[in-house]
Amino acid sequence: MPNAEIISIGSELLLGQIVDTNSAWMAQRLSEQGINLFYKTIVGDNPSRMNEVLDQALDRADVVITGGGLGPTQDDLTREAIADVTGRNLITSPELLSQLENRFQKRGMVMTKNNQRQARLPTGAIPVRNPNGTAPAFIVEDTRGIIFALPGVPFELKWLFDNEVLPYLKTKFNLNETIVYKVLKVSDLGESRVDDLIGHLIAESSNPTVGVLAHPGQVDVRIAAKASSTDEAMDMIAPIEAEINDLLGSHVFAYDEETIEMIIGNLLNEKSLSVSVFENTTGGTLANRLLKASPSQFDAGLIGNRDKITETLVAKYSQFDKNSIRNMPPEQLTRELAKCMQQYGESDIGLALYAVLDGNESKIVQNLGKGQTYIAITNGSHCMEKQYPFAGRGTPDQNRMSFNGMELLRMALIGWFQSS
């Protein structure tokens, strides 16, 4: 099985002017074919540094795929760098030059002299026609490895990768294996707790392998199997998946491309249940999740950014006066807010997320800000609640706490309404 390395070329990538989406896309496509990818490198338009990373890549990979640097300008230097590293001269390909001239002619454009640079290739390189652009790709079969030089324009690169690179690799290396992934999405458990429960599977895994990746509010457990077919890989994954499900139980809320919104939406729709929500520091993030989950079952959302909004809402829909509300413990206030939202929206379920920020730090800390966040949910006869030792208005905290609100709703839906 060949080992591959990707080199993304362009100073604009290092300056942050363009995000390198090409290498992530190619990495996924390589993994689907069972090709190992151990390194990805970004290098600017500098000849010596380009030579350095290419030389290093050829020493440790069977296949090197470059993206970018094949244009007509003076800083498009991939051709020169590959020629230098492989000890070749650059020559003009009459075939490529003719293709370029015809392409410009068909477009009614004048081909400037600098475009002729795109017809230059290292000696012995295999030209690859690019039907989507003016920059031809090429393949160099060197004694140390194979180099694919692809343009950096994403739609050009992707077409060439799927229609030229992969067929070449399959033939050259007789590729008959594939890698299949299964992702289990876990809620209400931190990364360290997940590792504590399934760490032995991670440590002992070889094929399939098991790994974890943390996101705000959730942890993904990824099982990867390499086999000669998708069915064979899924058979290998099945017993590991079953063991992880047994160990993590109801904390596994979704699989693969499923999201918490999809899960909640299905539950609300199946049970014909409506929901209304109050939130403060999350600024509508929770309501937006619910709207995406099920527009037909989401009744109302209220953002209470000031205490007077909270006091007015609770005073209107409960027996408490505003003075009592001001002195109410936050966990009790959150329960009352959930009850009020159920009445306000005339909904089956009321959900409230109420956070108390701690000092000025919460205004500058974007993740795990100081404070307490309370979440409560009610259906009129039952109440479920959770408390978290952080609060903040930063995007990570808003995403985390709105996710936790969705997760509490999920647990209520599968616990309270099983017979619905």
Residues 134 and 194 in one domain: no
Beginning with the edge strand found earlier in the chain, give each strand of the sheet holding 209-215 in spatial order: 209-215, 218-227, 178-187, 252-255
326-351 mean pLDDT: 97
State the CATH number of the domain containing residue 228: 3.30.70.2860
Q: Is the model's pTM score more than 0.85?
A: no
Of the residues 173, 196, 227, which one is the last residue of a structural domain?
Answer: 173
Whether 96 and 182 map to the same domain: the answer is no
Does residue 266 carry a pLDDT above 90? yes
pLDDT mean over 72-96? 93
Of residues 221, 229, 223, 211, the one with CA closest to residue 252: 221
What are 366-380's pLDDT values in tens digits? 777 889 999 999 999
Whether residues 93 and 154 fall in one domain: yes
| Residue span of the structural domain in which 243 resides | 178-255
Nearest CA to 42 out of 70, 59, 21, 58 is that of 21
Sign of CA dihedral 83, 84, 87, 90: positive
The DSSP letter of residue 351 is: E
157 and 213 co-located in one domain: no
pLDDT tens sequence across 139-167: 999 999 999 999 999 999 999 999 999 99
At residue 419 the predicted structure's pLDDT band, cuts being 50, 70 and 90, is: very low
Which of the listed residues 240, 255, 270 is the one where a domain comes to its end? 255
Give the model's confidence band at 420: pLDDT under 50 very low, under 70 low, under 90 confident, else very high.
very low
CATH number at residue 374: 3.90.950.20
The answer, yes or no, to whether residue 361 has pLDDT greater than 70, is: no
Instruction: Answer whether residue 365 shows pLDDT above 90.
Output: no
How many distinct structural domains can be found in the chain?
3
> Is 90 exceeded by the pLDDT of residue 102?
no
Q: Which of 139, 173, 207 is the last residue of a domain?
A: 173
* Confidence label for 171 from pLDDT (cuts 50, 70 and 90): very high
Q: 68 and 119 share a domain?
A: yes
Do both 123 and 9 map to the same domain? Answer: yes
How would you write 96-119 as a 3-class SS string?
HHHHHHHHHHHCCCCCCHHHHHHH
User: 265 and 247, same structural domain?
Assistant: no
Q: Is the pLDDT of residue 362 over 60?
A: no
pLDDT at 71: 87
- CATH number reported for the structural domain that contains residue 36 in this entry: 3.40.980.10
- pLDDT, tens only, 180-227: 999 999 999 999 999 999 999 999 989 999 999 998 889 999 999 988
Residue 80 CB contacts under 8 Å (≥ 6 apart), including other chains: 47, 90
Residue 235: per-residue pLDDT:
97
On whether both 38 and 160 belong to a single domain, the answer is: yes
85-99, 260-274, 384-398 — most confident range: 260-274
143 plus 158 within the same structural domain? yes
